[in-house]
Structure 1
Amino acid sequence: MTGQVLVDSEAFKERFEHLAAKAKKSIYLQAMSFEGDSVGEWLIDTLIASPAEDIQLCLDSYSKFVINDQFIYSTAYLKDETFRAEVKNTSAIIKKARKNGIKVKYTNPLGFLFLQYPHRNHKKMVLIDEEIAFIGGLNFCEHNFEWHDMMVEMNSTAMNQSLSNDFHRSVAENDQSTVDELGDTKMYYLDGYRSKNIYKDIFRNIDEAKESIRIFSPYVSDPLLTYTRTHKAESVRLDIISPGINNKNVFKAILSNELMKGYFNFYEYQGRMSHLKAILIDDKKLICGSSNFDFISYYFEEEVVMITENQEIVQDFINKISKPDIANSLLKKSLGDTRSYVVPLLFAGISKLCHIVATIISVKYLFRKSDV
Structure 2
Amino acid sequence: MTGQVLVDSGAFKTRFETLAAKAQKSIYIQAMSFEGDSVGEWLIDTLIASPAKDVRLCLDSYSQFVINDRFIYSLGYFKDEAFRAEVKNTAAIVKKAREHGIKVKYTNPLGFLFLKYPHRNHKKMVVIDDEISFIGGLNFCEHNFEWHDMMVEMNSLDMASSLSNDFHRSVAENDQSTVNDLGDTKMYYLDGYRSKEIYKDIFKNIDGANESIQIFSPYVSDPLLTYTRNHKAEGVRLDIVSPGINNKNIFKAILTNELMKGYFNFYEYQGRMSHLKAILIDGKRLICGSSNFDFISYYFEEEVVMITDNQEIVQSFIDKISKPDLADSILKKSLGGKRSFFVPLLFAGISKLCHIVATIINVLQPKSKRNV
- Cα deviation for residue 368 of structure 1 reads 8.3
Match of 2:165 in 1: 165
Asked if structure 2 preserves the Cα contact closer than 8 Å seen for 1:253 and 1:338, the reply is no
Aligned partner of 1:139: which letter?
Answer: N
How far did 1:339 drift? 1.4
- Give the corresponding residue for 2:84: 84
- Partners of 2:2 and 2:154 in 1: CA distance: 6
Q: Distance in 1 between matches of 2:109 and 2:260?
A: 41
Q: Which amino acid aligns with 2:247?
A: N
Distance 2:175 2:244 in 1: 35
Map Cα deviations across residues 98-132 of structure 1 (whole Å, 9 max, x no partner): 00000000000000000000000000000000110
1:324 aligns with 2:324: yes
Q: Which amino acid aligns with 2:28?
A: Y
Q: Size of the alignment, in residue pairs?
A: 370
1:297 aligns with 2:294: no
SS of corresponding position for 2:325: helix
Q: Distance in 1 between matches of 2:264 and 2:316?
A: 25
CA contact under 8 A between 1:127 and 1:164: conserved in structure 2? yes
> What CA distance in whole angstroms lies between the structure 1 residues aligned with 2:91 and 2:77?
15
Contact 2:35 2:141 in 1 (8 A): yes
Separation (CA, whole Å) in 2 of partners of 1:127 and 1:367: 31
Instruction: State the TM-score, normalizing by the size of structure 2.
Output: 0.99
CA distance in 1, matches of 2:13, 2:214: 27
Shift of 1:364: 1.2
* Amino acid aligned to 1:45: D
Which residue is 2:44 aligned to? Answer: 44
The amino acid of 1:60's aligned partner reads: D
The offset of 1:365, in angstroms, is 1.4
Within a 5 Å distance, the mapping from 1:322-361 to structure 2 comes to: 322-361=322-361
TM-superposed deviation, 1:367: 5.4
Identity of paired residues, percent?
85
TM-score (norm 1): 0.99
Residues 5-59 of structure 1 show CA distances to partners (whole Å, capped at 9, x for unaligned) of 0000000000000000000000000000000000000000000000000000000
Q: Which residue number in structure 2 is paired with residue 201 of structure 1?
A: 201
Deviations 1:60-108 (A, max 9, x none): 0000000000000001101100000000000000000000000000000
Name the CA distance, whole Å, in 2 between partners of 1:124 and 1:313: 18
Q: CA deviation at 1:338?
A: 2.8
C-alpha displacement at 1:337, in angstroms? 2.0
Which residue matches 1:176?
A: 176
> Which structure 1 segments of 5+ residues have no match?
none
SS at match of 1:247: coil
Moved over 4 A (4+): 367-370
Cα offsets for 1:284-309 (capped at 9, x unmatched): 00000000000000000000000000
What corresponds to 1:189 in structure 2?
189
Summarize deviations over 1:196-254 as a string: whole Å, max 9, x none.
00000000000000000000000000000000000000110000000000000000000
Aligned CA-pair RMSD: 0.8
Aligned equivalents of 1:356 and 1:68: distance in 2?
A: 30
